Structure 1
Amino acid sequence: MKLASIFNETRDGQLVVVNKAVTKAVAVPEIAATMQAAIDNWKETAPKLKNVYDSLNANSSDSAVFDISSKVVMAPIPRAYHWADGSAYVTHVELVRKARNAALPETFWTDPLMYMGASDAFIGPNDDIEVENEAWGIDFESEVAVITDDVPAGTDAKSALDHIKLITILNDVTLRNLIPDELAKQFGFYQSKPWTSFAPVVVTPDELEGVWSDGKLHLPLRSTLNGKLIGSPDAGVDMVFDFGQLIAHAAKTRSLIAGTIIGSGTVANQGSPTGSSCLAEVRCLEIIKDGKATTPFMSFGDRIEIEMNDKEGHSIFGKIDQVVKAYQKK
């Protein structure tokens, strides 16, 4: 089934069930008011939500059906308790390091990289990307993400897969030129990770039959900047750490609360034969080839679109479609 959160003048939005085509939806306050409430009680709410989903697709819903495009869609869980982003596509990290003549430690291939992000800075698929200064190096990062139920501490990678309840795609906005100074302090990202935006809908694993297997989503993820396709790498290829391994890594020393969101990191294929999922990688390839980067980072007015289609060409999660804009300091 497919779910979304729409704006209703509250911080956490209203949970809605969305049809397969991502065109129609229905509110379900009698089942759960919010996405977080639904996943808090997933064993009870999931079957009820599935019944609504089936009725909606059969055009037999008893509830008021509306056009989802007429509503403001928020992030699925606008204020999540926990957001951790991995770097499962090690080839991406390897390329970035190669561009600055830095060796890749062997442990990167055996132990996932992961950081905890700002889960209060989630925005919707059509919200502007507001940044103060273009000189900060504005970049997009196209990723796959999963949402879990409660995960006990010490859960192994195989068991962790059973805790994945919802899947989606996202744009992990990054300010590249702020990263070096932050990492030099050896305390991780903060200012360089301002916003994370999500596709309109999240889907249950059964909705991805044939393309979701072994904790990976085996479909191309398309990133289009100002009408130009930047890349469409297959998210199931060259993913060194599957989502089971990423969840197990996050839960090694503590439990994860229901509604935890785990990101894959920038989707990348070996040698980037199908393009890139961020401008940093495009620039790294230019440096390796020509000795310098010629592609600029994003500017105010630029438009980034991120989408994943099924094998028939239909959008699975809906489209992330955002414009970069300046915000004014207060």
Structure 2
Amino acid sequence: MRFLRYGAPGEEKPGVLDKDGKIRDVSAVMPDLSGVYLGDLSSVEPESLPLVSGDPRIGPPVGHVGKLVCIGLNYTDHAEELGMPFPDHPVVFMKATSAIIGPYDTVRLPRGSTHGDWEIELGIVIGQPASYVSEDAALDHVAGYTIVNDVSERRFQMELSGQWTKGKSCDTFAPIGPWLVTPDEVGDVQNLSLLLDVNGERMQTGSTSKMIFSVAHIISHLSELMTLHPGDVIATGTPPGVGMGQTPKRFLSEGDVMELAIEHLGQQRLPVARMP
């Protein structure tokens, strides 16, 4: 199934797409797509739920995200384009949950931004608590998958000292969605195509088959460092074609439009503006 949240920012309601692609309201079954409710999505019967009228805004598909954990340098071809060695263990950093927006909202470059960049990533949504889980059992803890755009300000990330979090956590720098897709509809999560365009020009093309660390490995590894809770989101790294990997380097400007898609997971369209 394909779940989503719709409505004004901060007032989103849970929904699900029926067999005709129409939104059904899930509010009578669960108050939000968050927390413990993510562990029981299979009980939802879309055709029995009321239709949602109109054309509402689509928000991020997970509410009240506890942690937004990111994996860096996790595609062989991305590490190669940056001239960096493959890591021995997953590179882990955090992204502020206050950066989360919907898949069609506006990305706003922060004051002082000169090197805004894009990164399409497969997102994992945790549905069951995970602590010290094996790789064999790791996927049992997944509620579903989604798209994450790990928008970055490279100057903040590289030049302001400290951790990458500085360049990753600006407001609007974590568009998520449009859908939370349950594993049964995704199929082989290690064989999904990814693409990202800027102003209609293809920048990123990749496949999750090029991941250095698989989805199962990432969940297992993180569960040995911290307990993963229902509603936590993990961004699993990006394929080649980011702005700082281009020759010459290319970065986001006001008026740009990012369009990105992952096989089975939908599409995002994100206009770019500047913070006032």
Residue 174 of structure 1 deviates from its aligned partner by 0.4
Could you tell me which residue of structure 1 aligns to residue 150 of structure 2?
172
Could you tell me which residue of structure 2 aligns to residue 280 of structure 1?
244
Identity %: 21
Could you tell me which residue of structure 1 aligns to residue 219 of structure 2?
247
The structure-2 alpha-carbon separation of the partners of 1:157 and 1:178, relative to structure 1 and needing over 3 Å to count, comes to same
Does structure 1 retain, via aligned residues, the 8 Å contact 2:122–2:237? yes
Q: Distance in 1 between matches of 2:259 and 2:224?
A: 35
The structure-2 alpha-carbon separation of the partners of 1:131 and 1:79, relative to structure 1 and needing over 3 Å to count, comes to farther
Could you tell me which residue of structure 2 aligns to residue 93 of structure 1?
79
Q: Distance in 2 between matches of 1:144 and 1:20?
A: 24
Give per-residue Cα distances to partners, 1:231-270, cap 9 Å, x unaligned.
Answer: 321222x2110111111221113311111111111124xx
Larger Rg: 1
Size of the aligned set, in residue pairs, is 273
The structure-2 alpha-carbon separation of the partners of 1:77 and 1:256, relative to structure 1 and needing over 3 Å to count, comes to same
Aligned to 1:221, the other structure's residue is in SS state strand
Residue 126 of structure 1 deviates from its aligned partner by 1.0
Q: Which has the higher helix share?
A: 1
Q: Distance in 2 between matches of 1:138 and 1:62?
A: 41
Aligned to 1:71, the other structure's residue is in SS state coil
Q: Distance in 2 between matches of 1:152 and 1:116?
A: 18
Q: Distance in 2 between matches of 1:92 and 1:232?
A: 11
- 1:189 has 2:162 as partner: no
Amino acid at match of 1:190: K
Residue 28 of structure 1 deviates from its aligned partner by 1.4
- 1:306 has 2:260 as partner: yes
Q: Distance in 2 between matches of 1:250 and 1:166?
A: 17
- 1:148 has 2:133 as partner: no
The match for 2:24 among 23, 26, 30 is: 26
- 1:319 has 2:273 as partner: no
Give per-residue Cα distances to partners, 1:49-95, cap 9 Å, x unaligned.
Answer: 1x22xx3xxxxx4523446xx11111112431011011321442343
Does structure 2 retain, via aligned residues, the 8 Å contact 1:147–1:260? yes
Could you tell me which residue of structure 2 aligns to residue 63 of structure 1?
50
Could you tell me which residue of structure 1 aligns to residue 34 of structure 2?
36
- TM (norm. structure 1) is 0.76
Does structure 2 retain, via aligned residues, the 8 Å contact 1:126–1:320? yes
The structure-2 alpha-carbon separation of the partners of 1:166 and 1:251, relative to structure 1 and needing over 3 Å to count, comes to same
Q: Distance in 1 between matches of 2:102 and 2:52?
A: 21
Q: Structure 1: any 5+ residue segments left out of the alignment?
A: 56-60, 269-275, 287-292, 310-315
The structure-2 alpha-carbon separation of the partners of 1:36 and 1:135, relative to structure 1 and needing over 3 Å to count, comes to closer
Aligned to 1:207, the other structure's residue is in SS state helix
Q: Distance in 2 between matches of 1:135 and 1:190?
A: 12
Give per-residue Cα distances to partners, 1:188-216, cap 9 Å, x unaligned.
Answer: 4224432100121110010123x33xxx2
Amino acid at match of 1:4: L
Q: Distance in 2 between matches of 1:193 and 1:90?
A: 25
Does structure 2 retain, via aligned residues, the 8 Å contact 1:170–1:199? yes
Q: CA RMSD in A?
A: 2.2
Q: Structure 2: any 5+ residue segments left out of the alignment?
A: none
Could you tell me which residue of structure 2 aligns to residue 46 of structure 1?
41
Does structure 1 retain, via aligned residues, the 8 Å contact 2:25–2:49? no
